[in-house]
Chains A and B, each alone.
Chain A
């Protein structure tokens, strides 16, 4: 019966080619526009590590003195001072933890044919790799003892390994960073974490670092910040030690907490730390406090999806709504024009349900075709986005969810629009039309 309906639907669509084409275009364009903006939104708001959402936390402290305010919604700086990062990471509450700094070096390859180049690097603790599930091809993270003493060791990414050595196991070899030799202890597999949840300060999209060194090297190598530094009061900063002692926030600190209890323990630990520091004369304010945010809270808090994107998604759905109203009125007109034919079918014994089903199948076919065409339009739209706006390369993509969402939304929308016309036509009284034939 279903096949028969499909056949009937196909005939009916072909009988009014102009109107069928108009409806097809309307749904395809509606789906195309909606899917383009929805895909960007979807990719932007994606949580890259949903399975660790309630385990990885960003740590914040309200360190400013009374009267100094931050511009964030909860009056907390995004980053930490060196003192606080160092003090907090001494604690043993978190299952894993890492303090981090975005830095960089001039790399001078051993091979004289390769000219020196600049490489962004991340100073982190050895736990970083396990926390963010960074896969190793060779070797492993440096020893935990290095996190305390500082030693010139490095973990390099697959791409950097290719560039420097042409690939292969090069653990134990040296890499020269700013004229200092670092021993390579680990080499990563090709790896991507987007949005870059461990540091969203300088854009969420873009390449992950290819070079990792111990955070404990900060005071030893006087590693410069290649990221954001924010102060809330004027401080003399003539030496690197001045910077380490300052109230400038410039470091990221993330912890892995296994369960609710651990989260509470860590909050208590922070509260205790703040009290202790207040005794030492810091955090001179009434509402000094700390906070931890999990991955999705952090992404939301840092507004990774811009207001523009949300507006576009909203407008696109309104657009789709107009397309549907359009289709609905065309369908209504088309079905009603066919009332005499339906009258005959009803007189010959077709039930109301059958007539209703027949028309819904026709509408569903329209939805499927419109969805497919809409996908093509969305692909074109995303392609134009990628080629015109390099910043959108990573997010102007469709994943499987979106590929499936397009025809689903399309068919559902069409069925929704088709219900009323189909119901209207199946109520046709046979007698009325038999008379006039």
Chain B
């Protein structure tokens, strides 16, 4: 460790340069660890399981403007026509589309109004008995709808009286886990929970209750409807091209619009998160590059400035590896101080982000990964200049004196 003293002295003599490098490393560490943590957060959000095969699903809007169309009857005809298209696995007229970013949710309660009771919010999908098969979600417990359960109505004048729901939703209403077979209420309309379905997401991914989903066997006749279709794998494209023609041939006083794959809706919905992830990735990469180039450039200068000193050391018997070690040790010393400051800065930054933008608390592992990465990067950046320093001939020392 006798080498440390001259290194320290050399740094002290050009303390501004060293100080700048320390500040750079500290700020870099703070940015990288926080940004990496946010990226990790977003990636796990983006890669979560939706419980649906979005790539086989697509949707469209069906808007009937003809005042003389019997919408209820036409919906039945439409479903039959759509299910007959080759490549279609199943199709339903539905009130909202999963993963689409827009839809309806409501509170079901344990007791009918006006009694006060525990309630919980769920996104509700309304369609006929083909709903579960169209979504291709498994029934985990209980039974699926049958045709006899389906209620056809104009509005909420009459309602279905059974429903399916995800386990997480049922357990929110019945924490003891005995929800199957129980009755819950929307206003004073009773719904018996007849089945538990496998986990699936509702319309919103960023919803606090994204897993709360209820399926209701009810079809409302309305001018504006959505249609959800599942195709056999790989045949979605061809089916998407046919639906408009098939439907308008049956009844022309209407408009088919926004024929879109559900995977595309999901991408649109998560665009903000994907953008953030990509921007931060670019930011980290470029930042590390700039810092590495800075360290490298400064080391090169130092080599140039210390040519005579290095030559003298070599002449006095220092090996090439000693010269390399000198530069690496110098870099380590500076990096260490920078890293200590950087850890504090990273924590302070995370605190600000947490308080003002309600981000989760920075996981300490990310600081550890980042500081290891930055240290290795610093060593690599200094290695080439150090190698160049070893090329300095010992004779330089003798020549110019």
One digit per residue, 1 when the CB lies within 8 angstroms of any chain B CB and 0 when it does not, for chain A 286-314 equals 00000000000000000000111011100
| Other A-B pairs beyond A306-B272, A326-B290, A420-B16, 14, CB < 8 Å | A30-B290, A37-B279, A108-B65, A177-B65, A179-B253, A235-B187, A238-B155, A311-B359, A315-B280, A319-B287, A330-B301, A332-B16, A333-B298, A390-B271
Any A CB within 8 A of the CB of B224: yes
Residue of B nearest to A316 (CB): B283
6 A-B pairs (CB sep. < 8 Å):
A22-B297, A36-B279, A104-B63, A178-B223, A322-B291, A330-B301
| Chain B 36-91 interface residues, beta-carbon cutoff 8 Å to A | 38, 61, 63-67
Residue of B nearest to A116 (CB): B255
Q: Chain A, interface size: which category?
A: 35 or more
Q: Which residues of B contact A322 (CB under 8 A)?
A: 24, 27-28, 31, 287, 290-291
Any B CB within 8 A of the CB of A2: no
Q: Which residues of B contact A107 (CB under 8 A)?
A: 65
Q: Which residues of B contact A385 (CB under 8 A)?
A: 275
| Chain A 17-35 interface residues, beta-carbon cutoff 8 Å to B | 18-19, 22, 25-26, 29-30, 33
Would you call A319 and B283 a contact (CB within 8 A)? yes
| A381 vs B283: C-alpha distance when bound (angstroms) | 11
Q: Among the interface residues A238, A333, A388, which one has the most CB atoms of the partner chain B within 10 A?
A: A333
Would you call B255 and A106 a contact (CB within 8 A)? yes
Would you call B63 and A391 a contact (CB within 8 A)? no
Would you call A326 and B291 a contact (CB within 8 A)? yes
Would you call A238 and B21 a contact (CB within 8 A)? no
Shortest beta-carbon distance, A247 to chain B, in Å?
14
Would you call A325 and B298 a contact (CB within 8 A)? no
Would you call B255 and A118 a contact (CB within 8 A)? yes
Residue of A nearest to B254 (CB): A106
A234-B187 CB under 8 A given contacts A329-B17, A332-B16, A334-B301: yes
Shortest beta-carbon distance, A245 to chain B, in Å?
15
Contacting residue for A325 out of B20, B30, B353, CB 8 A: B20
| Chain A 85-121 interface residues, beta-carbon cutoff 8 Å to B | 104-108, 115-118
| A211 vs B98: C-alpha distance when bound (angstroms) | 29
Q: Among the interface residues A18, A37, A239, A312, which one has the most CB atoms of the partner chain B within 10 A?
A: A312
Would you call A308 and B276 a contact (CB within 8 A)? yes
Contacting residue for A311 out of B67, B253, B301, B357, CB 8 A: B357
Any B CB within 8 A of the CB of A173: no
Q: Which residues of B contact A406 (CB under 8 A)?
A: none
Would you call B157 and A234 a contact (CB within 8 A)? no
One digit per residue, 1 when the CB lies within 8 angstroms of any chain A CB and 0 when it does not, for chain B 358-395 equals 11000000000000000000000000000000000000
Shortest beta-carbon distance, B65 to chain A, in Å?
3
Shortest beta-carbon distance, A250 to chain B, in Å?
13
| A389 vs B273: C-alpha distance when bound (angstroms) | 11
Any A CB within 8 A of the CB of B23: yes
Interface set of B (CB-CB < 8 Å, partner A): 16-17, 20-21, 23-24, 27-28, 30-31, 34-35, 38, 61, 63-67, 107, 113, 155-157, 186-187, 223-224, 252-255, 257, 268, 271-272, 274-276, 278-280, 282-283, 286-287, 289-291, 293-294, 297-298, 300-302, 304-305, 353, 356-359
| A115 vs B244: C-alpha distance when bound (angstroms) | 12
Q: Which residues of B contact A36 (CB under 8 A)?
A: 279
Contacting residue for B65 out of A105, A310, A326, CB 8 A: A105
Q: Which residues of A contact B61 (CB under 8 A)?
A: 118
Shortest beta-carbon distance, B74 to chain A, in Å?
14
Any B CB within 8 A of the CB of A404: no
A117-B255 CB under 8 A given contacts A29-B290, A322-B287, A333-B301: yes
One digit per residue, 1 when the CB lies within 8 angstroms of any chain B CB and 0 when it does not, for chain A 381-411 equals 1000100111110000000000000000000
Shortest beta-carbon distance, A394 to chain B, in Å?
13
A19-B297 CB under 8 A given contacts A37-B279, A307-B358: yes
| Chain A 315-361 interface residues, beta-carbon cutoff 8 Å to B | 315-316, 318-319, 321-323, 325-326, 328-330, 332-334, 337
One digit per residue, 1 when the CB lies within 8 angstroms of any chain B CB and 0 when it does not, for chain A 134-178 equals 000000000000000000000000000000000000000000011
- Report whether over half of chain B's contact residues are helix, strand or loop; otherwise say mixed: helix
Would you call B23 and A325 a contact (CB within 8 A)? yes
| Chain A 231-255 interface residues, beta-carbon cutoff 8 Å to B | 234-239
Q: Which residues of A contact B304 (CB under 8 A)?
A: 337
Residue of A nearest to B293 (CB): A22
| A318 vs B358: C-alpha distance when bound (angstroms) | 20
Q: Among the interface residues A25, A307, A308, A334, which one has the most CB atoms of the partner chain B within 10 A?
A: A308
Any B CB within 8 A of the CB of A224: yes
Q: Which residues of B contact A311 (CB under 8 A)?
A: 38, 276, 353, 357, 359
A391-B268 CB under 8 A given contacts A22-B297, A234-B186: yes
Residue of A nearest to B42 (CB): A308
Residue of A nearest to B301 (CB): A333
Would you call B271 and A325 a contact (CB within 8 A)? no
Contacting residue for A308 out of B20, B66, B272, CB 8 A: B272
Residue of B nearest to A237 (CB): B156
Would you call B156 and A238 a contact (CB within 8 A)? yes
| A177 vs B271: C-alpha distance when bound (angstroms) | 34
Residue of A nearest to B61 (CB): A118
Would you call A392 and B275 a contact (CB within 8 A)? yes
Shortest beta-carbon distance, B373 to chain A, in Å?
15
Residue of A nearest to B352 (CB): A314
Residue of A nearest to B35 (CB): A315
Contacting residue for B31 out of A238, A315, A328, A391, CB 8 A: A315
Q: Which residues of B contact A424 (CB under 8 A)?
A: 16
| A310 vs B356: C-alpha distance when bound (angstroms) | 10
Q: Which residues of A contact B107 (CB under 8 A)?
A: 234
Q: Which residues of A contact B272 (CB under 8 A)?
A: 306, 308, 391
Would you call B157 and A238 a contact (CB within 8 A)? yes
Would you call B27 and A237 a contact (CB within 8 A)? no
Residue of A nearest to B107 (CB): A234
Residue of B nearest to A330 (CB): B297
| A259 vs B20: C-alpha distance when bound (angstroms) | 53
Residue of A nearest to B157 (CB): A238
| A18 vs B303: C-alpha distance when bound (angstroms) | 15
Q: Among the interface residues B63, B257, B279, which one has the most CB atoms of the partner chain A within 10 A?
A: B279
A330-B357 CB under 8 A given contacts A118-B255, A318-B27: no
| A424 vs B383: C-alpha distance when bound (angstroms) | 29
Q: Which residues of B contact A177 (CB under 8 A)?
A: 65
| A311 vs B352: C-alpha distance when bound (angstroms) | 10
Would you call A33 and B283 a contact (CB within 8 A)? yes
Contacting residue for A310 out of B252, B257, B283, B357, CB 8 A: B357
A234-B31 CB under 8 A given contacts A179-B66, A307-B357: no
